[in-house]
Amino acid sequence: MLGWMGMALALLVTGWADGLIVVRDPDVLSHQILPPPRPRPPHWMPPPVRPYVFAPLEVSYHHVKVRITDPIAVTSVDQEFYNPNPRQLEGTYLFPVPPGAQIDKFTMEINGKPVEAELLAADKARKIYEDIVRTLKDPALLEYAGRDVFKVRIFPIEPNSRKRVTLSYTQVLKTDDGLVNYVYPLNTEKFSAKPIKSVTIKIELEGKRPLKSIYSPSHNVEVLRQGAHRATVGFESREVRPDADFQLLYSLEADPIGVNLMTYKKPSEDGFFLWLASPGFEVKDSKLVRQDIAFILDTSGSMAGAKLNQARKALEFCVENLNEGDRFEIIRFSTETEPLFNRLAEVTESNLARARQFIKELKPLGGTAIDAALRAALALQPAKSDRPYTILFLTDGRPTLGVTDENQILAGVRRGTQTNPDREGNAGPGNPRIFCFGIGNDVNTHLLDKITEATRAYSQYVLPEEDLEVKVSNFYSKIKAPVLANLKLVFPEGVRVTKLYPSSLPDLFRGEQLVLVGRYAHAGTGSIRLEGTVNGERREFRYAANFREEAGDHEFIPRLWATRRVGYLLDEIRLHGENAELKDEVTELARQYGIVTPYTAYLIVEDEAKRNVPVRSRSMQSFDRDAGAQQEAANAWRSYQTSKSGDSAVAVARYGMALKSATSPAAGIGLGNREASRGMALASPAPTVAMAPAASRPGQSSALSAPAPVTAVERVVQYAQQTQYVNGKNFFQNGNQWIDAAVQKATQAKKVRIQFNSPEYFSLAARESKALPWLALGQNVQFVLNDTVYEVYE
> Can you give 388-432 as a three-state secondary structure string?
CEEEEEEECCCCCCCCCCHHHHHHHHHHHCCCCECCCCCECCCCC
- Whole-angstrom CA distances from 373 to 161, 295, 379 are 63, 10, 10
Amino acid at 670: G
Query: What secondary structure letter does DSSP report for 240?
Result: B
Maximum Cα–Cα distance across the chain: 98
Q: β-strand 113-115 against 118-120: which pairing, if any?
A: unpaired
Q: Report CA 111 to chain centroid distance, whole Å.
A: 35
Q: Give, rounded to a whole angstrom, the gap between the first and last alpha carbons of the chain.
A: 22
- Whole-angstrom CA distances from 85 to 62, 90, 218, 662 are 21, 12, 34, 41
Q: What is the H or E stretch that residue 316 is in?
A: helix 306-320
Percentage, residues of the chain above pLDDT 90: 63
Q: What is the H or E stretch that residue 67 is in?
A: strand 58-69
Q: List pLDDT tens digits, range 13-66.
A: 444 345 667 776 545 443 332 233 333 343 434 444 334 345 678 888 899 999
How many CB atoms are located within 10 Å of the residue 176 CB?
A: 12
* DSSP labels, 242-308: --S-EEEEEEE--SSSEEEEEEEB-TTS-EEEEEEEE--S---GGGSPP-EEEEEEE-SGGGTTHHH
**Alpha-carbon span 134 to 187, nearest angstrom:** 22
Confidence of residue 680 (pLDDT cuts 50, 70, 90): confident
Q: List pLDDT tens digits, range 139-161.
A: 888 888 888 888 888 888 888 98
The helix/strand/coil state of 786 is: coil
**Alpha-carbon span 640 to 634, nearest angstrom:** 10
pLDDT at 386: 84
pLDDT at 35: 32
Query: Closest by alpha carbon to 454, among 396, 393, 399, 404?
Result: 393
Q: Is the pLDDT of residue 10 over 80?
A: no
Query: Closest by alpha carbon to 64, among 166, 189, 205?
Result: 166
Confidence of residue 7 (pLDDT cuts 50, 70, 90): very low
Confidence of residue 708 (pLDDT cuts 50, 70, 90): low
- Whole-angstrom CA distances from 247 to 65, 178, 758 are 14, 16, 35
**Alpha-carbon span 730 to 594, nearest angstrom:** 5
- Whole-angstrom CA distances from 262 to 269, 348, 555 are 16, 44, 10
pLDDT at 384: 79
* Residue 541 and residue 516 in contact, taking contact as beta carbons nearer than 8 Å: no
Strands of 428-481 (E only): list them.
Answer: 433-439, 459-462
Confidence of residue 438 (pLDDT cuts 50, 70, 90): very high
Confidence of residue 125 (pLDDT cuts 50, 70, 90): confident
Q: Considering the chain, what is the average pLDDT of its residues?
A: 86
Q: List pLDDT tens digits, range 714-743.
A: 899 999 999 999 999 999 999 999 999 999
